Structure 1
Amino acid sequence: MAVTGCVAVLVAVALLGTDAATEVTGEVRIPGGGTTTLLRSVLLAALCVQLGEVAGRRLARDVARTLPGTLPEGPVQPPEWAAGAAFAGMLAALGLASMAAAGDGRLAAGLPELSEIHATRDGLLAFLEANGFLLAALCVFLGRPVWAAVPLTGVIVGEAVRAHPEDHTQLLGIALTLVHLTATVLWTGGLVQVLRTMRAWHGEPGAARALLAAYARRAFWLFVALCVTGTCSTLRKLPTVQAATSSAWGRTLLVKLVVVAAVALCAVLARRVLIRDRARTTYSQVLRPTAWELAALGAVLVVSALLTVAPVPR
């Protein structure tokens, strides 16, 4: 029930956030901004689930090898979500390609011709990303889910290129976004997979704690990468300090900073619970702050999608 409520709130934020932000600042309303934000949120979530599953399963195997009397794959692995996530990501990318081809922000404008999609930069990139998700799904069906990381990396590159149409220091912007998005995807998706694996390992509390501790060490460096690249990207895009409060993009960025701070706080609380009493810590005790961390990371994805739609201040 709580998960359904969180998802409903995030969907509402995605659909209404852009209009609310531009209305407050008096900027021009973005046609189809809500639909674009929702589709891009689904695309990012699909990336998180798939790459997080690949990274999380490998991490679980590494942790299992260090534990005495444990099978190489760990006590048990949760069922795969990669195929469903790949199809969701493909549909979201096709929706974005269709909207880019229509040019008026409408999703239900009819199925565009391939030439119409290729005629726009955003449409072409979204179509290539849809093909990346399709290849990822094919890898899963062939029994090689790890191979899916290759086309999914291409999807991340496509998103980084799409975010920087400018001519000035374009390569720097693409590189920053590439690292920033990769860190966000691995942090969020990795946590989803770790929580699912911990639930599957509920009969092995020692293994579950070791898995979360191993994830926490890696998540710290992902957080550092996210903060550094996010700061550099902000300095590139924000023309003045006043724009942070006078523009829709700046205000959305401030909201993202608050949510990221909340994520960090939840992460610290979860690690403190884990370290406080290693012998008695249960899955449910660690789950409370970690679940809040995951919910906040979901909000980070949606707000990040909002930032891609909100007009950048000049």
Structure 2
Amino acid sequence: MPTAARLLLRGLVLVLASLALTVAGAGVAGAHPTLLFTDPGPDTAVSAPPQSITLMFNEPVTPGAPAIVVTDSDGRTAAMGVAETARDGRVLTARPAEALAPGTYTVRWQVTGADGDLVEQDFRFAVGLTLTGAASAGDGGSTSWRDAALRWLLFLGLALAFGGLIADRVTAAARRENPALPVVRSPVPVGALLGLAGVLGLGAALAASAGTVSVLWQERAGLVVLTEAAGLVLAAALASTGRRGWAAVPLVLVIAAEGVRSHANLASPGWGGALTAIHLAAAAIWVGALLHTARAVLAWWSERAAVRWVLAGYTRLAVWTFLMVVATGTVSAVLLIPVSDLLSTPYGQVLVVKLALVAAAAAAALTARSSLRRPERLPTVRNRIRAESVLLIAVLAASAALVSTTPADNSPQPGPPPPVGPVLPLGTLAGQVGVSVAASDGQLVVRLSTPRRGDYYAPEPGQDFTLSGRIAAADGGDSTLALRGCGPGCFVAPAAWQGGDNLLTLVAAAAGWQGGTVSLLVPWPTTPGGADLARAVAATRAETDLTVYESVTSDTTTAAPEPQRLDLPADFFLAQEPYADGTAPLAVRLPHQDGTVRLALGYPAAGMNVLLTLDAAGRISEETLTDTKHLVTRRFLYPESGGQ
């Protein structure tokens, strides 16, 4: 054969071989680049404005002009920095010039693949609301130290005003007997203003937590704050105008408001609040009367008869108030916490500290009283009174911490009401805390979970959870969730879902684990999705092979891991999935503006939720699976079309 003919034949063989390899490898490589993952994810919500928009493709790409465009729900374009590539051109990133405000955004991107074709698509995500952990419901005790500090100011001011008002009668009687004694100014105005500072701080914290000042007159907690503020202002005004006796009335109103707000009133409405009010009144008289008496003793020290007079009057008063504090405190403790939880819960531990301080103050008081019976020990009384005063101020601090701590409750909590209509199951991870959401007509149920430690077969230890949240509706309105416990790790709240996308933002925490803030898009209304799921599983199973890009994390506070590529038979992959038989305990179809079919699946018994996106052929193209300790995201590519 001539040389030219041989070369031609060899060239034809190479061309045919190349074509065969191209056809054989055309499956996943495809004609166009395929978007595998995005951050933020499509149709998801993030709790804080994203620092960047990141797209990951299955092959190197060249950014278009512009590569990434972000618009808000009103069509306004957000300023973006220049798009940059990484990881050999497979990752495209652009950073917003300014922080994105809460709301829903559309990301439109365009890139050029290795084949030279321009590819462009879009996806949505939402930015959630900023929350604090103040308005929360919890399974176990937790202390709000900010509230404790503010409430200590309130209690100290109330003690100065109310207890000082009572003790002022004793010092006034002494001055009537001896008009030459120096005047001891009434502590009522100063005490009322100090308490008012604490109340104003509590009101500001409540409004900041709710995101609106209207919470102060629309909810009971706000009305309690307003009542206390009004009572303290009125007491200060009456005392400043010389009507100190009448100042007792608004101060009693403040004490009653604290009783309404108390843990005991929640546990036993009515008499629980009355018990707390009596306890607080007795403690305020004990502390405030001592502080006012101490001022009189220091001012009249040279007049020993007057010193004995006021100390004797305070002693008689202190005996009764001490007995009242001990009696009401004991009943409240029995009502709120089992003896077995005294050392194992935050509430019990703070209570033990308070009891120790009360005992120390009582011991100091007895020592001071014994000194009154011996004239030679009278010079030591001042130091003993100072010690008792410091201990009682510490008792008020412990009381403030106690009322700012959620009491442990071992009584069975009522479960959530039965759902009405279809249930929309969603899931995510808040740090290391699993978050499972079930939305139904008028109701939201959230279940939190943490990974198991130690022996898997050992009894699961108790776990303390706290949760707070807000809902931003599609029409722009937002509201704080009124969460209550419904069992271990379970929380339920009324929820008025609006048509369209509702933005749910939650702050989840669990003792000993990394928690966090998460946001979820809750589209409404939903429709049953069982038939769609069966068809999607059948269409996916009909494929011979598929390629899965998978990313798994157990802590969302760390960087997302690099996706792993898996080439698998479709039937083998489906056999590993919870929806392998085409059914799920909960299956709903989510509304979507562009007609994309998305299915939300729930497996309550397993604590698992799955979100599926279907392609134009009805096959599964994206999957997000969450369980108690994992967040798994998957992107599916099929041979004949490269996943397009």
TM-score, normalised on structure 2? 0.40
Report the alpha carbon displacement of residue 59 of structure 1 after superposing the two structures with TM. Answer: 1.2
In structure 1, what is the Cα distance between the partners aligned to 2:163 and 2:333? 26
Deviations 1:188-241 (A, max 9, x none): 000010111112212311111121012111101111111111111111111x32
Structure 2 counterpart of 1:143: 242
The residue matched to 1:313 in structure 2 has which SS? coil
Q: Does 1:102 align with 2:102?
A: no
In structure 2, what is the Cα distance between the partners aligned to 1:235 and 1:281? 40
Which structure 2 residue ranges, 5 or more long, are not aligned?
Answer: 1-138, 410-644
Q: Does 1:252 align with 2:350?
A: yes
Deviations 1:9-52 (A, max 9, x none): xxxxxxxxxxxxxxxxx96755xx12111110000111111112
Please identify the structure whose Cα radius of gyration is greater: 2
Which of 271, 274, 287 is residue 188 of structure 1 equivalent to?
287
Which of 255, 258, 264 is residue 159 of structure 1 equivalent to?
258
Report the alpha carbon displacement of residue 164 of structure 1 after superposing the two structures with TM. Answer: 3.9
Q: Which has the higher strand share?
A: 2
The answer on whether the counterparts of 1:97 and 1:124 sit within 8 Å (CA) in structure 2 is: no
Which of 223, 226, 235 is residue 322 of structure 2 equivalent to?
223
Deviations 1:246-266 (A, max 9, x none): 100001111111111101100
Stretch moving more, 137-146 or 215-224: 137-146
Stretch moving more, 165-174 or 147-156: 165-174
Name the CA shift for 1:311/1:168 in 2 (closer, same or farther; >3 Å): closer
Q: Does 1:83 align with 2:201?
A: no
Structure 2 counterpart of 1:265: 363
Structure 1 counterpart of 2:435: none
The residue matched to 1:312 in structure 2 has which SS? coil
Structure 2 counterpart of 1:43: 154
Letter of the 1:43 partner, please give it. L
Name the CA shift for 1:272/1:34 in 2 (closer, same or farther; >3 Å): same
Q: Does 1:233 align with 2:332?
A: yes
Deviations 1:61-119 (A, max 9, x none): 33455x5xx23xx7222233332322221121121122123327xxxx7xx53x22122
Structure 2 counterpart of 1:289: 384
Report the number of matched residues: 271
Letter of the 1:268 partner, please give it. L
Structure 1 counterpart of 2:372: 274
Name the CA shift for 1:36/1:192 in 2 (closer, same or farther; >3 Å): same
In structure 2, what is the Cα distance between the partners aligned to 1:172 and 1:141? 34
Name the CA shift for 1:168/1:82 in 2 (closer, same or farther; >3 Å): closer
Identity of aligned residues (%): 33
Structure 2 counterpart of 1:59: 170
Stretch moving more, 260-269 or 169-178: 169-178
Name the CA shift for 1:306/1:158 in 2 (closer, same or farther; >3 Å): same
The answer on whether the counterparts of 1:98 and 1:123 sit within 8 Å (CA) in structure 2 is: no
In structure 2, what is the Cα distance between the partners aligned to 1:166 and 1:87? 27
RMSD: 2.1
Report the alpha carbon displacement of residue 125 of structure 1 after superposing the two structures with TM. Answer: 0.3
Letter of the 1:158 partner, please give it. A
Report the alpha carbon displacement of residue 167 of structure 1 after superposing the two structures with TM. Answer: 5.5
The residue matched to 1:289 in structure 2 has which SS? helix
Structure 2 counterpart of 1:243: 341
Structure 2 counterpart of 1:300: 395
In structure 1, what is the Cα distance between the partners aligned to 2:168 and 2:264? 36
Structure 2 counterpart of 1:9: none
Structure 2 counterpart of 1:19: none
Report the alpha carbon displacement of residue 166 of structure 1 after superposing the two structures with TM. Answer: 5.2
In structure 2, what is the Cα distance between the partners aligned to 1:28 and 1:237? 11
Which of 188, 198, 211 is residue 92 of structure 1 equivalent to?
198
Structure 2 counterpart of 1:134: 233
Letter of the 2:301 partner, please give it. H
Which of 199, 204, 224 is residue 125 of structure 1 equivalent to?
224
Q: Which has the higher helix share?
A: 1
In structure 1, what is the Cα distance between the partners aligned to 2:297 and 2:232? 27
In structure 1, what is the Cα distance between the partners aligned to 2:285 and 2:349? 26
TM-score, normalised on structure 1? 0.81
The answer on whether the counterparts of 1:48 and 1:189 sit within 8 Å (CA) in structure 2 is: yes
The answer on whether the counterparts of 2:141 and 2:407 sit within 8 Å (CA) in structure 1 is: no
Deviations 1:176-198 (A, max 9, x none): 11111111000000001011111
Name the CA shift for 1:273/1:168 in 2 (closer, same or farther; >3 Å): closer
Report the alpha carbon displacement of residue 159 of structure 1 after superposing the two structures with TM. Answer: 0.5
Letter of the 1:59 partner, please give it. V
In structure 1, what is the Cα distance between the partners aligned to 2:309 and 2:170? 10
Which structure 1 residue ranges, 5 or more long, are not aligned?
Answer: 1-25
Report the alpha carbon displacement of residue 168 of structure 1 after superposing the two structures with TM. Answer: 5.2
Name the CA shift for 1:56/1:77 in 2 (closer, same or farther; >3 Å): farther
